[in-house]
Structure 1
């Protein structure tokens, strides 16, 4: 199985967040809890479904990642962009 992390968008502002080792939604993928087994992935998926049902986050997904020299890197380009921030600056 490919390693996975749980990602979503924060309900209040739409910012990409990842479920971290402390049980919180975090803006930095590097703190993510990584599922290395099917059982771990199923547990994270259940956490994501509960957070969605409680209106904490939107668009909850498990994302395939690789760990390179201690860094978590999404395999898909879309998720890499989400992890590294927007490709354009926000206008306020």
Structure 2
């Protein structure tokens, strides 16, 4: 599974693609099967929004604690907000945040690696 992520240009907030719009919560992100042409189309659409988001790319996901979570540690940090527990999305808590925090592994997301290679 994969999800599309970027940073909103107006304020730098991490955002995720969901049914034609950008949302702030990873829990609301649209999930794509590997190789799904709709994922590539969403990524291309995001790249055609240079005044809305910066550097949209697909991230790899794994199932953990009954939810889909980013494979890479970097992407889990982005999904959770700042690492300071008293701020951002982590402060909200809940089962989804707890599951993301409990996810293990530090593999790189192939989407980010491909983005780096293209530069």
Q: What TM-score, normalized by structure 1, do the two folds share?
A: 0.79
- Root mean square deviation of aligned Cα: 1.7
**Bigger relative contact order, structure 1 or 2 (CA pairs below 8 A, ≥6 apart):** 1
* Cα shift readout 1:9-64 (whole Å, capped 9, x = no counterpart): 0111101000113x211110111111104213212221221223xx1101211111
Q: Distance in 2 between matches of 1:67 and 1:44?
A: 22
Q: Distance in 2 between matches of 1:58 and 1:72?
A: 24
Q: Partner of 1:58: helix, strand, or coil? A: strand
**Residue from 30, 33, 36 that aligns with 1:36:** 33
Residue of structure 2 equivalent to 1:63? 59
- Structure 2: give runs of 5+ residues left out of the alignment: 89-119
Higher share in strand: 1
Larger Rg: 2
Asked if 1:25 is matched to 2:25, the reply is no
Q: Partner of 1:73: helix, strand, or coil? A: strand
Aligned residue-pair number? 84
Query: Contact 2:47 / 2:55 at 8 angstroms: preserved in 1?
Result: no
- Structure 1: give runs of 5+ residues left out of the alignment: none
Higher share in helix: 2
Query: Contact 1:16 / 1:27 at 8 angstroms: preserved in 2?
Result: yes
User: Residue 72 of structure 1: CA displacement?
Assistant: 2.6
